[in-house]
Chain A
Amino acid sequence: GEEVAQTPKHLVRGEGQKAKLYCAPIKGHSYVFWYQQVLKNEFKFLISFQNENVFDETGMPKERFSAKCLPNSPCSLEIQATKLEDSAVYFCASSQSPTGTGETQYFGPGTRLLVL
């Protein structure tokens, strides 16, 4: 598609429950990035993919967060056993290439996760 699509728009979970978020990058974009925006506008990089390969997962809290980008499927970000501090907006972005003129990252509308 012409835009990055993210589902669901809103997600409410009780502490300890699982949350799964989905992202479909712009058609033709091979690179996918996940960011977390908590209160006060602080964006945090989580993970990036080229197609189905992870290239940088330095931002992922590995004990509870996992992500995948499988062929012919939306990418996913999964949080096992959510905590209150996971409440945030999770943005997915995609780009044509990692550097140069194709590096502009286009963002999806985000998934708002609220953990109660």
Chain B
Amino acid sequence: RKEVEQDPGPFNVPEGATVAFNCTYSNSASQSFFWYRQDCRKEPKLLMSVYSSGNEDGRFTAQLNRASQYISLLIRDSKLSDSATYLCVVNSISGAGGYNKLIFGAGTRLAVHP
């Protein structure tokens, strides 16, 4: 079983739609959670961190359920420019100093069409 699992998609949605992505992680010791966005094999860029209380950034809302080890991302009012691959990312603490490495899900592809 992979440490971070995501639905690969693709999700094909019209402009203005609301779309939700889900992700589960297997390591209950994970401390930090992120959504990254990757365009066309370019570098991943941080979209938002995910907190237990849930957090919102404009049209994007992220939620974390530690008990279920489940992370979600909601995109409202989709734009053409939202088309990308969304990567669910979890840190994995390693080493005595707690230095983290990131564990990536395989990504969920979103295509927003006119």
Contact = CB atoms under 8 A, between A and B. Distances in A.
Given A41-B38, A109-B43, A55 B97 contact: yes
A107 B32 contact: no
A21 to B, nearest CB: 14
A73 interface: no
A98 B98 contact: yes
A37 B102 CA distance: 13
Contact of A33 (B85, B101, B106, B107): B101
Interface string A26-66: 00000101010100111101001010000110110000000
A99 B31 contact: yes
B103 A45 contact: yes
Tell me if B's interface is mostly helix, strand, loop or mixed.
strand
Closest CB pairs A-B (n = 8): A43-B104, A98-B99, A107-B43, A41-B107, A45-B101, A55-B99, A56-B94, A55-B95
22 contacts: A33-B101, A35-B102, A35-B104, A41-B87, A43-B87, A45-B103, A48-B99, A48-B101, A55-B99, A56-B95, A56-B99, A59-B101, A99-B32, A99-B98, A99-B99, A104-B46, A105-B46, A106-B46, A107-B43, A107-B44, A109-B43, A110-B41
